[in-house]
Structure 1
Amino acid sequence: MTSKATQLRSIPSFLLPCTQSRITPQARYLQTRVKATRIPRPTPFVPDTQTFLTVIGRNLSQHASKIPSWKALFSLTSAQLKELGIEPPRSRRYLLRWREKFRNGQYGVGGDLKYVENGEALLRVVEVPVSGNSPATATLTAGKRKIVVNVAAGGSALEKPAEQLEPVKGLHIKGAQTIVGPHVQPLKGGKAAKVVVKEGLWEDRRGHKIDGGERRQAEVRAKRRGEERRAAR
């Protein structure tokens, strides 16, 4: 009996089953609020919790096993994430910020790609028609412009009508056909490239503190000036 009680205590309270008689008005309000929270659909590039935590970085992928489902990932409050052991507080704030961005369709590189296989998205350069009579150049056909598109592995962008091709956001073309952009890996031959799921792909880099944080800057700089004056004597 004691062993069973210990196991129950180790499980976060909001994950424990509860009877109808135990539901308080506050708990009922929380349940209603959670149900009302819009849960975004996974994307081909970010299909699960593990991948989401991996691409946003800050070592949050180590907590993937603590979050039971995609729905939980987008429903748990900061207090519940704390109860699951996601620390420090700045990591929870960072997770909640990225969670809201994803909910609003604000992805990092690759987030909106449709053709993804084993965490890799293939990119190619294609020519599409433009309005007007643009002249031909050494690297471009007359009346066309070049865009970067996502294609299925082994497939071709030419399998779809030109008007249905959507350019990949955040990438551009350098020279004749070199695809350039954050975390883009060129493929052999230079006619294609790929974006691969990896740790910190979308990570917001933290700035470096100079002379400590705001509270210590004055103290650190005053101490340095004193040392410089003593050294100059």
Structure 2
Amino acid sequence: MLASLRSSVLGQARRLHTATGRTAVVPEPRGKIQDAESFLKSIGRGCDEYASKFESWEQLFTTDSRTMKNDMGISTKQRKYLLAWLEQYRQGRDTYPISLPSPKKKK
């Protein structure tokens, strides 16, 4: 009985966590960033090559990771970087490019 109650509660928590009915907050463009292309250019790491895949500002902020992977062909590293910056922008942080660390030379 306790095991079935526990699995039921955990299952409900999982469903709440992965609910697809969530709506993404789409912030207003600000400063020099006025569209999806300028946002992608400003965060760097070659994200501007995906500008053609996002038709609008709203689509940039509402597209989920699975869609970016399956329909747009964006790699895992790029998706994680892009999604992290989208969340930072939602929270009011201004964008800037973060360069990849250079590989260490072997001795």
Q: Flag whether TM exceeds 0.5 (same fold).
A: yes
Compare the two structures and name the one with the higher strand fraction: 1
Aligned counterpart, 1:41: 28
Structure 2, unpaired ranges of 5+: 1-18
Task: Report 1 or 2 for greater relative contact order, CA contacts < 8 Å, sequence distance ≥ 6.
Answer: 2
Task: Report the TM-score, using the length of structure 1 for normalisation.
Answer: 0.35
Change (3 A) 1:63 1:55: same
- The SS at the match of 1:74 is helix
Per-residue Cα deviation, 1:36-92 (whole angstroms, up to 9, x for no partner): 221111113101001000111111111111112111111111111112122x21111
Q: State the match for 2:99 in structure 1.
A: 205
The answer for the alignment partner of 2:84 in structure 1 is 97
Alignment pair present for 1:85 and 2:73? yes
Helix, strand or coil: the match of 2:42? helix
Letter in 2 for 1:51: S
Q: Does 1:71 align with 2:58?
A: yes
Q: Which amino acid aligns with 1:203?
A: P
Task: Point out where structure 1 has 5 or more consecutive residues left out of the alignment.
Answer: 1-28, 109-201, 212-219, 222-233
Deviation of 1:209 after TM superposition, in Å, equals 2.1
- 1:54 is paired with a residue whose SS is helix
Corresponding residue number in structure 2 for 1:163: none
The ranges of structure 1 where at least 4 consecutive aligned residues each deviate by more than 4 angstroms after the TM superposition are: none
The number of residues matched between the two structures is: 88
CA distance in 2, matches of 1:206, 1:61: 16
* Cα distance between partner residues in 1 of 2:46 and 2:100: 13
Report % sequence identity. 32
Q: Deviations over 1:111-134 (max 9, x none)?
A: xxxxxxxxxxxxxxxxxxxxxxxx
Distance 1:98 1:85 in 2: 19
Structure ID, larger Rg? 1
Deviation at 1:205, TM superposition (A): 1.3
What is the TM-score with the length of structure 2 in the denominator?
Answer: 0.73
1:99, 1:39 → 2: CA distance?
9
